[in-house]
Structures are given as structure tokens and as C-alpha cells.
Amino acid sequence: MTFTPTQKEPFNKNIEALSNILLKESLKEIKSSKFELVLGKDNLDINLKDTSIKNNGGGYNENLLYQDPIKELQTMLNTYNDKYLLYPVLYFYGFGNGILFKALLQNKNHQHIVVFEKDIEIIWIMFHILDFSNELQSARLMILQTSSLDIEFFLIFALANLSFNFLEFIF
């Protein structure tokens, strides 16, 4: 996948703001991805297609991250605004297109969003599309690569001193 100079700008800002050195170095090393970026007409219609998965047809695209990105975003926002509006820390497994986190962090009650991601190619692509530098710099958005959690987990949580009073993992 080739990115334009305009798309490389948010990537560089995001990398610069990322405090997680292991993830930062891993992201810098990526040169290509099994994912293909799928952009719709709406700015919120951002999807990823996993080119390593063959679509079996039947109306459901199992190789797409989202079946309907905008509808799924609205459903998730409604859920979190209904159930977790006052939670200071939210935990997620999977970065997705990242738009959900940008939207949730508009709520000042959410002091931190911690995202565990197995496939950092997703982060690599989305860092080229969206600017998360403010959220990363302020540590309101924290991203952990699951393959290096033994070291990462301890360091980030020990240094961040996050409250576990509202601990609830959301999948």
C-alpha cells in the first residue's frame, strides 16, 4: 500500500506522539500490509479489507472489518454513551478504524482509553488516515501491542497509574 505525502503527515505526527517505544519502532518497520483501505463517500466511512481472507459470498463480507462502518459506529456510540458515559477508563480489544475512540474521547469523563491490538498493521494504516497525536500525547489514548504485553503492560500501567475501579473489558 502506498500513501500520499498528505497521508504520511498524520502518520509522522502519530508516531512522534506515541510514547510506547516498542510499538513505535514496530510501526516504523512496516512497509506493506495484508489490509486494503476502503474509503466511502462519507468521512466516517472508513473500512479495511483483509486480502488474506477469501470472501465466500452470500451477502456477508467476512474479509471486511465492518459491514457498515457508519451504522456500526453509531450503534457503538449509543451503547457506550448509554452504559459507560461516566467511566474514567475504557478498555478495548481491537483498534478498528479508530473513529470510535476519537468520538468517545470528546467526553471529558473518559480520561483514558486503552486499546489492545494484535495486528498492528491496522494501526499502521489508520495512523496514515487519522491524526491521533493529541490523544496519544496526552495519554488519553493508549495502544498496547498484545504480542509484547509482558513488558508493555507493566510499564504503561505502572507509569500511568490508571484506576482499576471501573475495570470492564469491552470486546
Q: What is the average pLDDT across 31-36? A: 96
In the block, cell 468521512 appears at 43
CA distance 10 to 171: 27
Using the predicted structure, report yes or no on whether residue 58 has a pLDDT greater than 70: no
Strands 35-39 and 46-50: antiparallel
Report pLDDT digits (tens) over 80-135: 999 999 999 999 999 999 999 999 999 999 999 999 999 999 999 999 999 999 99
If one counts every other C-beta atom within 10 angstroms of the C-beta of residue 117, the result is 19
User: What's the pLDDT score for residue 159?
Assistant: 58
**Bridge partners (DSSP) listed for residue 143:** 115
Mean pLDDT of the chain: 89
Domain ranges of the chain: 5-54+62-160
How far is residue 21 CA from its own chain's centroid? 17
User: What's the pLDDT score for residue 3?
Assistant: 93
**Bridge partners (DSSP) listed for residue 38:** 47
User: What's the pLDDT score for residue 1?
Assistant: 81
Identify each DSSP E strand in the chain by its residue range. 35-39, 46-50, 89-93, 112-117, 141-145, 169-170
pLDDT band at 57; cut points 50, 70, 90: low
> What dotted CATH number matches 5-54+62-160?
3.40.50
Tell me the three cell numbers of residue 106.
470528546
Residue 111 vs residue 158, higher pLDDT = 111
Query: According to DSSP H, which parts of 84-161 are helical?
Result: 99-104, 120-129, 133-137, 149-160
CA distance 95 to 54: 22
No. of helices (H) and no. of strands (E), the chain: 7, 6
Out of 7-11, 77-81, 125-129, 150-154, pick the least confident.
Answer: 150-154
Residue percentage of the chain with pLDDT more than 90: 74
Residue percentage of the chain with pLDDT more than 70: 83
How big, in percent rounded to 5, are the helix, strand and coil portions of the chain?
A: 45, 15, 40
Using the predicted structure, report yes or no on whether residue 170 has a pLDDT greater than 90: no
User: What's the pLDDT score for residue 62?
Assistant: 81
